[in-house]
Structure 1
Amino acid sequence: MLSTGALRAHLLAARLAGPVATSREDSLRSYRLFAARDPRVLLGLDPEGCWAERDLLALMADRCGVSADPAHVSGPDTIDPERTVAALEAFAARLREVARTRAPVLLGTGHPHRLLGFYATLARALSAAGCVVLTPAQGWGVDVATRFGVRTQCLDYVQGVALVREPGVRPSGSATGAHTHSPLPVRIALGALAESGRPLPELVIGDHGWVCGAGQLGFDAIGLADTDDPALFVGEAEGRVAVAVPLDDGVRSDYYRPLTRYVLDRAGLAAGD
C-alpha cells in the first residue's frame, strides 16, 4: 500500500503538486474569462453565484493552494500537496461507496493523452467490483468548438473510458483522442441513456466538461482539475461537483499511476488487471 508520505513525495517529484507547469498567467486568464462567463472555461457549469476575479482567486487559494496575492502575476503556479492528498481521500471514498452498492458508473476524459490510463484502471476496478461501466452513444457525432471552429467529432470508448476523436483519424477503440473542454459529450451520453431507458450513472468520473456537464445536470460527479480549471472548484463550492482534486493534469501519463494505486487502496478495490 502506498503511504500518504510516499504519495506526497511523488506529487512533488512529478510536479503534480508544488510548483507546477501551469503558469500563473494561464490561471489568472482563466479566472478573468470565468468571471466574464466565457463558455470556454465554464465547462458546462452555470454558476449560481456572481464570481468576480477576486472571488475566484480566493477560492482557488483555498481549494488548490495557489497564491492569494493578486500582485503575483507570473511564473509557475502552485498546488498544495496536502490539498491534493485530502481530495484524493474524498475521491476514494466516493469510489468505495459506488463499489459497495455496485452502482452504474460513467467515465470520460478530455485529456486522453495524459489521463486515459488513470481512468481505465478505475474502470477495470469498478467493473471487477460489480459496477456496470456504461458506454452509451458510442460512435455518435459531437459538434465540438475547437480553435479551428466547430468540428464534428466522434464519441468513442477505450477500456470503458469515453473520449472524442476526429472521425477517420484513428480506428474505433484506439487509445488516441482529442483534447477537449466541452460538456457536449457527457450531455449526449447521458441523453442517450435517458432516451433508451437504461440505468443512469450514479457516479460520473472524469475531468473538464465531463464533470461540470454532469454535475450541472444533477449527477454525482468527481474529477481532476488544474489551477486553470476554476469551474470544477466553483462547482464543488456550489454543491454540484462532489470532489475536485487539484493537480497538474498535463504531466506524463505514467506519473498518475501512483495516484491510481493510492485511491484504489483507499477505496478497497483491486486494480482489476
Structure 2
Amino acid sequence: MLSTGALRAHLLAARLAGPVATSREDSLRSYRLFAARDPRVLLGLDPERTWRQRDLIELMADRCGVSADPAHTSGYDVIDPDLTLAALDAFAERLARAARRRSPVLLGTGHPHRLLGFYAALADALSSAGCVVLTPAQGSSVDITTRFGLRTYHLDYVRGVALLREPGAGAAGCETGAHTHSPLPVRTALAGAADSGGPLPELVIGDHGWVCGAGQLGFETIGLADTDDPALFVGEAEGRVSVVVPLDDAVRPDHYRPLTRYVLNRACLSQ
C-alpha cells in the first residue's frame, strides 16, 4: 500500500500539489467572474450567499492553500499537499460507504484526456463491489454555447465514465473526448435516468459541471478541482458538494495512478 508520506512526495514531484501550473492570474480571474455570477465559472451552481472576490480568496486559501493575500496577483498558485491528502481520505471514505451500500453511482468528467483513467478505475472497483455504474442517456445530444458559438456534442461512456464527444471525433467508446466545464451533460444524464425509470445515482463522482450540476440538483457529489475552479469549493462550503480534492487537474494521466491506488486502498476496494 502506498504510504501517506510516499503519496505526499509524489504530489509535490508531479506538481499535483505544491507549486502548480495554474497561474495566480487565472485563479483571480475565475474568482472575479464567480463573484459576478458568470455562468462560465458557476459550473451549474447557484450560490446561496454573495461571494466577493475577497471572500473567494479566503475560501480557497482555507480549502486549497493558495495565498490569502489579495495583493499577490502573479506567479503560480500553490496547493497545500496536506489538504489534498486529507481530502483524498474523505473521498475514499465516501467511496467505501457507497460500496458497502452497493449504491448506484454515476461518474463523469470534463477532463477526459487527463482524468479518464482515474475515474475508470473507480468505476471498475465500485462495480466489482456490487454498485451499479449508471450509463444513462448514452448518445444523447448536448448543445453547449462556446466562444465559437453553439456546438452540439454527444454524451458517451468509456469504461463506465461519461464524457462529451464532438460529432465525428471518434467511434463510441474510444478514449477521446471534449474538455468542458458545463453542467448540461450531467443534467442530460440525470434526466435520462429519470425518464427511463431506472435507478438514480446515490453518488455522483467527477469534476467541473458534473459535480456542481448534480450537487445543485440535490445529489451527493464528490470530485476533484483545481485552484481556478472555485465553484466546487463554494458548493462544499454551502453543503451541496460532499468532498472536493484540491489538485492540479491537468497533469499527465499517469501521474494520477498513485492517487488511484491510494484511494482504492483506503476505501478497501483494491483488487
TM above 0.5: yes
Q: Tell me, in whole angstroms, the C-alpha distance in 1 between the residues paired with 2:216 and 2:149.
A: 25
Alignment of 1:47-196 (within 5 A): 47-196=47-196
Q: Tell me, in whole angstroms, the C-alpha distance in 1 between the residues paired with 2:80 and 2:147.
A: 32
Q: Tell me, in whole angstroms, the C-alpha distance in 2 between the residues paired with 1:29 and 1:270.
A: 40
Residues 101-137 of structure 1, C-alpha deviation per residue, up to 9 Å, x if partnerless?
1010000000000000000000000000000000000
| SS of aligned partner of 1:187 | helix
| SS of aligned partner of 2:26 | helix
Q: Tell me, in whole angstroms, the C-alpha distance in 2 between the residues paired with 1:109 and 1:75.
A: 28
Deviation at 1:168, TM superposition (A): 1.4
Residues 43-68 of structure 1, C-alpha deviation per residue, up to 9 Å, x if partnerless?
00000010000000000000000000
Residues 170-222 of structure 1, C-alpha deviation per residue, up to 9 Å, x if partnerless?
11000000000000000010011111111100000000000000000000000
Is 1:145–1:182's contact at 8 Å kept on the other side of the alignment?
A: no
Residues 80-111 of structure 1, C-alpha deviation per residue, up to 9 Å, x if partnerless?
00000000000000000000010100000000
Partner of 2:225: 225
Unaligned runs of 5+ in 2: none
Partner of 2:8: 8
Write the letter of the residue equivalent to 2:121.
Answer: T
Is 1:144–1:151's contact at 8 Å kept on the other side of the alignment?
A: yes
Partner of 1:213: 213
Residues 5-27 of structure 1, C-alpha deviation per residue, up to 9 Å, x if partnerless?
00100000000000000000000
Is 1:204–1:214's contact at 8 Å kept on the other side of the alignment?
A: yes
Q: Tell me, in whole angstroms, the C-alpha distance in 1 between the residues paired with 2:141 and 2:10.
A: 39
Partner of 1:263: 263
Aligned length: 271
Is 1:211–1:221's contact at 8 Å kept on the other side of the alignment?
A: yes
Deviation at 1:146, TM superposition (A): 2.0
Residues 211-254 of structure 1, C-alpha deviation per residue, up to 9 Å, x if partnerless?
00000000000000000000000000000000010000000000
Deviation at 1:270, TM superposition (A): 2.1
Write the letter of the residue equivalent to 1:58.
Answer: E
| SS of aligned partner of 2:254 | helix
Deviation at 1:147, TM superposition (A): 2.3
Unaligned runs of 5+ in 1: none
| SS of aligned partner of 2:162 | strand
Deviates more, 1:144-153 or 1:225-234: 144-153
Deviation at 1:163, TM superposition (A): 0.1
Q: Tell me, in whole angstroms, the C-alpha distance in 2 between the residues paired with 1:84 and 1:56.
A: 18
TM-score by length of 2: 0.99
Is 1:24–1:74's contact at 8 Å kept on the other side of the alignment?
A: yes
